[in-house]
Amino acid sequence: MKRFIFTMAAACMMMGGMAQTYNYFDKADVDADGWLWFDTQEKIDKYVGFGSKFKIQLQPCGYEDESYQYPEPWADPEVPGYNASGEEGGEGAKFGAIVLNPSSSSSGAGLDNPNGGGFMMWLPDCAQMDVYLSCEKDCIVVGLKAGMGDWVKPVDCAVVKTWMSLGSWIKPLASAYQFQFNNVQSYKNANAPYTTIASPKGTKVTALFTNNGKTLYVHGIRVYTYTDCGGGDEPVKGDVNGDGSVDIADANCCINVILGSEPASKYEGRADVNNDGSVDIGDVNAIINIILGAA
């Protein structure tokens, strides 16, 4: 029995670990796929506004309007977005959004330095970010900036990537009225050390998203971090030692319980990974399957 256990543990060691991620927003406020939609005033009041007390910090435009004011973005749970055919409020359109003001170009198209409305997030780290957008024009153009290693002001963020539409120079994020912008964190600039929104566990990052074209509607956002920000996630299956990841250390904890060198009570029930009422080789197997992605 011992020989089999240690053989399984050795195999597990060669596989490495799988970092656990957490939704940045409270579990009660996101849908089954992890999206926070801006379709209720309660969620808007909770997450969106001006100032660092909000998880989604609105950013005014970088230009003055005819009243010498800097236009500010706003949020409304009932504002209609555009559907895939460009119809405002048409079938398939989302309702409720953060509304980002257009850029200053007279054509409503962006420049290489986006100055439309935006939002900023101070994240503890970043594993994944997705944003759901719609626009009155089938040319969505935005700018991404980031401050790596700390929470900084917008002026201190560096460019990650800019999409633009200026005359014949067109580089849209999407030639669509409606677009699900997945894996925002995967983009990086071309200069080493590369600036990106992706950040390892415990490394703070500032994410700045700015409109670079016509009025843009941000209907929803999905953000996963490596740090648990108290979003109400359930305990991670297989994370026996509670360190936020599932790896060989968790298998070793189960093995220690099986061999009697540690009491199962030390892990507050987490060692019974397969929930069969006991801690045995089946729990070690369950951890290995999680690491392999087979669970």
Q: Which whole-number Å values give the CA distances from 275 to 177, 262, 279, in the listed order?
A: 47, 19, 9
Q: How do residues 238-282 score in pLDDT, each as one tens digit?
A: 889 877 678 899 899 999 999 998 888 788 678 989 888 889 999
Q: Which whole-number Å values give the CA distances from 71 to 1, 15, 203, 219, in the listed order?
A: 70, 52, 32, 20
Angle between helix axes 248-259 and 2-15 (nearest 10 degrees) is: 170
**Looking up tokens 């670990």, which residue turns up?**
17
| Pairwise CA distance, residues 186 & 224, whole Å | 13
Instruction: Pick the closest to residue 264 from 240, 287, 246 (CA basis).
Output: 240
| Strand 48-49 to 56-59 pairing | parallel
pLDDT at 176: 97
Q: How do residues 218-239 score in pLDDT, each as one tens digit?
A: 999 999 999 988 664 455 778 8
Q: Which domains, ranges and CATH numbers included, belong to the chain?
A: 2-19+236-292 (1.10.1330), 22-225 (2.60.120)
pLDDT at 107: 45
What is the average per-residue pLDDT within 144-162? 93
Q: How do residues 47-97 score in pLDDT, each as one tens digit?
A: 999 999 999 999 999 888 888 889 999 999 999 999 999 999 999 999 999
